[in-house]
Amino acid sequence: MARPESLRVAHLDSFMAVYHRSSGITHLITAPAPEIMAVLGEAGLTFAALTERLAADYELGDTDAAALAARLDELVAAGLVSVA
Amino acid sequence: MSDDSEDSQPQGVTSRRALMLGAVGATAIVSIRPALAQTAASVVTCQIPVPDPGRAGNYIAADGSLVPARSPGSFAPAGTPFKGADVKTALAGGQLPGTTYEQSRAYTNYIRRLQSGTSGFTCFASLQMPRG
C-alpha cells in the first residue's frame, strides 16, 4: 500500500475519499477497496495471504479470485497499492 | 487504515461484516484529478476520439495536425475512440489497436497535441499524471 503519510483519508458515508499527496489526485473509493487497503497494511501481503485474511476478517459474499485481482488492479492503477 | 489493528474492525466470528468483492467488470474507484475539475472513471476506460468530434471532417497528418480530408499522406479519422489504456500503451511506444504503424504514429501525435477543452484532453491529461 502507498505510504500512510502520503495519504489523507476522509470517510464520506459509503465512500472514502483518499487524497494521495504524491500524485495530487483524490480517489473516491468504495467497498471493497478500503477493506483491501486496511488488510494489506503498510507491509503488504501476498495474494494468497490477502485472500485468507479477507475471508477471516469478513463474511465474504463471493470469493472470486478474478474479482479480487480486478480490485487490486484498480488500486495499483490508482497508485494506492504497489506490486512488490 | 494502514494500521489495521486500529481499524476497529470487530474480530469476533459473530460480528464479521459482510463484504462483496464485486464483479470483475465493476469499479470501486473514481479518481478526481486536480485542476481539471472533472472526474474520469478510470484512465483505463476513459476515451479519446481522433479527431475531436467538432473537427470530424478532417484527416490526421503524420505529425498529428489536422488537415483537409484526403490530403496526401494523411489518415482518415479513427472509427471509434481509443481507450485510455490503449493510448497509454501507444504513448509508451506501442501501437493503437486496429491501426497500421504509420497510422498509429499519426494518431498518437494528434493525441499528444490535444489542448484543454478538446474532447479527450481530460483522458490524455489523466494518463500523464504521475504515480507513486
Q: Looking at the domain assignment, is residue B9 inside a domain?
A: no
Q: What three-state secondary structure class fits A27? A: strand
Q: Are A52 and A65 in contact (CB under 8 A)?
A: no
Give CA angle at B24 (B19, B26), nearest 5°.
Answer: 75
d(CA A50, CA A80): 16
The minimal CB distance from A71 to the residues B9, B21, B129 is found for B21
| DSSP structural state of residue B107 | H
B51: preceding bond cis by omega (within 30 degrees): yes
> pLDDT value at position B34?
60
B78-116 pLDDT, tens per residue?
989 999 889 988 988 899 999 999 999 999 999 988 876
> pLDDT value at position B77?
95
Test B28 with A30 for CB contact under 8 angstroms.
yes
Percentage above 90 pLDDT, chain B: 37
Average pLDDT over residues A6-12: 88
Q: What is the Cα A76 distance to its own chain's centre?
A: 9
Q: What is the dihedral of CA B121, B88, B52, B70, to 10 degrees?
A: 150
Rounded to two decimals, the pTM is 0.49
Q: Among A5-9, A25-29, A68-72, B117-121, which stretch is predicted with the lowest mean pLDDT?
A: B117-121
Tell me the residue type at B128: Q
pLDDT band at B38 (very low <50, low <70, confident <90, very high): very low
Q: Where are the alpha helices (DSSP H) in chain B?
A: 84-91, 101-112, 121-128
Residue of A54, A64, A73, A75 for testing the chain B interface, max B β-carbons within 10 Å = A64
Mean pLDDT across chain A, nearest whole number?
87
DSSP percent split of chain B into helix, strand, coil, nearest 5:
30, 15, 55
Write down the residue that cell numbers 503498510 correspond to.
A42
B122 to chain A nearest CA, in Å?
13
Residue B44 has pLDDT above 50, yes or no: yes
Q: Looking at the domain assignment, is residue B12 inside a domain?
A: no
Contacts of B43 in chain A (CB under 8 A): 77
Test A42 with B33 for CB contact under 8 angstroms.
no
> pLDDT value at position A23?
72
Q: How many domains does chain B have?
A: 1
Q: What three-state secondary structure class fits A47? A: helix
> pLDDT value at position B43?
66
Is A58 part of the contact surface with chain B (CB cutoff 8 Å)?
yes
Nearest residue in B to A9, CA atom: B1
A39 to chain B nearest CA, in Å?
6
Report how far apart, in Å, the C-alpha atoms of B30 and of each of A3, B54, B78, B110 are.
20, 27, 27, 27
For residue B47, the cross-strand partners are: B83
- Tell me which of B75 and A64 has the higher pLDDT: B75
> pLDDT value at position A31?
87
Q: Classify strands B17-19 and B66-67 as parallel, antiparallel or unpaired.
A: unpaired
Q: What three-state secondary structure class fits B111? A: helix
Please choose, from the candidates A12, A46, A42, the residue with its C-alpha nearest in 3D space to the C-alpha of residue A29.
Answer: A12
Average pLDDT over residues A65-72: 91
Test A71 with B42 for CB contact under 8 angstroms.
no
> pLDDT value at position B111?
93
Please choose, from the candidates B84, B132, A76, A7, the residue with its C-alpha nearest in 3D space to the C-alpha of residue B96.
Answer: B84
Range of the domain at B44: 31-128
Q: Among A8-22, A67-81, B52-66, B116-130, which stretch is predicted with the lowest mean pLDDT?
A: B116-130
B15-36 pLDDT, tens per residue?
788 888 887 767 788 887 665 4
> pLDDT value at position B120?
82
Average pLDDT over residues A35-44: 90
Q: Looking at the domain assignment, is residue B96 inside a domain?
A: yes
